[in-house]
Structure formats: structure tokens, C-alpha cells
Amino acid sequence: MNIISATTGNSGPKIRSDCELTLELRSEGGISMTLNSKVQALYGESIISQCKEILAFFGIKDAYLKIDDSGALPFVISARLEAAVRKLIPVQSDYLPEFLEENKYSTLPGRGRITRLYLPGNMPGMMINAGLHSADGLILDLEDSVAPEKKDEARILVRNALRQIGFNGAERMVRINQGEMGLKDLEYVIPQNVNLVLIPKCESPESVRSVEIRIGEIRERSGITNPVYLMPIIESAKGVEMAYDIARSSGDVVAMAVGLEDLTADLGVARTEDGIESLYARMRIVNAAKAAGIQPIDSVFSDVANMDALRQNVRDSRALGFEGMGCIHPRQIAVIRQGFAPTSNEIEKSRKILIAYNEARAKGQAVAALGSKMIDPPVAERAGRTIDLAVRMGLLPANWMDEKSE
């Protein structure tokens, strides 16, 4: 009897909501399975039935399947089994789980992206309830958080997760791999209503355009009408110097981020809490993004236990002009959101400035007076940005102009 086999997924004492599958294809004997599951009493028959259905979908009639399950949801099981099948035989079709209606929304180019939570693309246990953390965006990561030998598995898992997990209105983001591998990632994820694609280690406009072109091809082929935005990540000295060209390389670029772990490694310096070693790069990226009319987004803060240092980092980031940061742990979300939020004093001051300025403009005056201070268009524009942010964050009602200033 000829036997070929493949193993996918994860198992172990610290693994949750995942499974490890070993699939052996045989030349005879029909289908047989061994299931070891934490939820075997409740869902054992359902798991076995699902796996038989998937094997039949791929035309497999003779196989042995061993499953070590730590409570994986059906979309995870199907992703793991499809990945095993793809390792063993040519596959022409995808086994797709149901696409939840609640995930079929689009987002706007200028929406707030203050907090973006990274979720490792091959760890379903970290994805399943991520929407409950109320981040502005959830990033299913196919790049640095996924081991090279697991890239193909993660691609299928992320595809299924985009269809099945609850995002609770968060922007649906995917960080793809570099180069050709990243273009392959797009084939799996773009048809699943991705709102934004992060392009890692971006060093040239051509890197953005190659992604833009491939996305366009997939959208046309798949009949996708929802927009797909782009966020290049600057992670090298060359990328910093090319920041402005990258920022305006495509009309789909809505934000540009900096990745300080890779950037400081490229510069040959250590990353510090005060960030002096990356000050030039961060300022250049902010300036390039603002000049191009897109959002500058700061790097993640890697010490998840040091909340005081994170607060200071957020204050510095906001002072430089950044409009958000990446998060690598849910506990960072509230701190970052609070740090970027306008204070009550800033909101009230901006509110009074805009009311006074609008009243002056209604009278045909180019400037207004508020107490002893003159208000000209740049001051009013800055106040407007503060008010817009306060409204987006729910700190001020959308009809704030109806309320009289004191």
C-alpha cells in the first residue's frame, strides 16, 4: 500500500482553539479517522462528519486522518485539513466556509486608525474574540509572526477567518509577505472583503504599485466592488529616504506606518524608550505622509508590561504628528486610544475657536477674535481636526455646533 502524509496545525499544552492534523493518503482502505479532542463528547461526531465532507469535496476516497483537537472551531478545522490536502495533491477549488453577512462592510479612506491590533496569522486562538477589544483595526498577520514553513497554512486560515470571525466593525486588515509571496497572499485574502492591506518593508513606489495592480486584477476577476486601501510600512533607511514617493505612489494609499524594530536593526542601533535613535525617521515619515495627505502611523511598542513607558511613547508620538500606533497586545489599546484622544480642554477650546471663526466668516471677515487672540484659517483648520477626532471617538456629539459656547 502506497502512503504519503502531511501534518498541519498546532498542538500542545498551551495551544487553544486549534488542532493538529496528520493526513495519510492511501491507495485503498477507504476513510478512517482517530480523534483526540477536548470537546469529543459534545462535538466528536460533528468533527468527524465535517472532515469526511471535506475529504469528499477534494475527491479523496482512501485516507487515514489523525486529529488532535484543542477546541478548534469548524473554520479552523477546515483550514487545517485543506492545507494538508494541498500539500499532497493538486487542488483546483477552495473549501470555503460561510461568509458572515456582518463582515461584508467597507470602510472610508479617512476613518480613524488610532489603534490597530496585530494578530498572528497562524494562531486562531488569538483571532476568535479579537473583535471584542474594540481596536480601530484588526491585522491578520501573514508576515513576521508566521514561521516560513507555516506560511501556506496561515494563508488558508486567514482566508477562513476573514469569512468567519467577528470583527465588530473594526477595519479588516491583512499584512502580507514581501515580494512574490505577498502577491500570492493577495489571491487568498482579497476576495474575502479585506478593507486594507499592509505592505511590509516598503522601499519604493514600485512595491506599492505591484500590490495595487495585483489587487486590481483580483477585484476584476472576482467582481469585488468594495475598496481596498493600502498602508506601506517603512522599515529601512532606504524606505525612510523614499517615504514621500511611497506615500503618493497610489491613490489607494491612505496611511503609512513605520516599523522601528526592523528600521533600528537596519541602522545598526538599539531601540530605546525615548526613541532618539529614530527621531529623524519618524519626523520624515510624518512629514511625507502629511504632504501626501495620508495618515502617519507610528510603530508598535514592544514592551507590553511597561504601561508607563507606553504612555510616554504615545505622548511623544502624538506630539510628532502621528495619528495612531500599532498594538501587539489588547491591553495596549486603551492606553493608546486615551493618549491620542483630545483632552476636554482641547475640545472646548477648539469648539469655541470654530464657532467664533464661523460667525466671522458669515459676516465676510477673514479672521475672528476670541478674547485677546486672533483666529486665522490655519488656527481654525487645526481646531477643526481636533473636533473631527473628538466626534469620531465619541467625545463630542456630531451636532456639537447646535450647542452654544459659553
Sequence spans of domains, the chain: 3-88, 105-340, 344-402
Tell me what the mean pLDDT of segment 367-393 comes to. Answer: 79
pLDDT bucket at 406, cuts 50 / 70 / 90 = very low
| CATH architecture designation of domain 3-88 | 2-Layer Sandwich (3.30)
Question: pLDDT of 125-176, one tens digit each?
Answer: 999 999 999 999 999 999 999 999 999 999 999 999 999 999 999 999 999 9
**pTM value surpassing 0.85:** yes
Percent of the chain with pLDDT over 70: 98
**Are the C-beta atoms of residues 296 and 286 closer than 8 Å to each other?**
yes
**Are the C-beta atoms of residues 283 and 277 closer than 8 Å to each other?**
no
| Bridge partners, 118 (sequence order) | 139
Beta strands in 78-199 (DSSP E): 115-120, 137-141, 171-175, 196-199
DSSP letter at 13 equals T
Angle CA 330–193–82, to nearest 5: 85
> Look-up: residue for cell 491612505?
254
Question: pLDDT of 299-324, one tens digit each?
Answer: 999 999 999 999 999 999 999 999 99
**Are the C-beta atoms of residues 62 and 31 closer than 8 Å to each other?**
yes
- CATH class, domain 105-340, is alpha beta
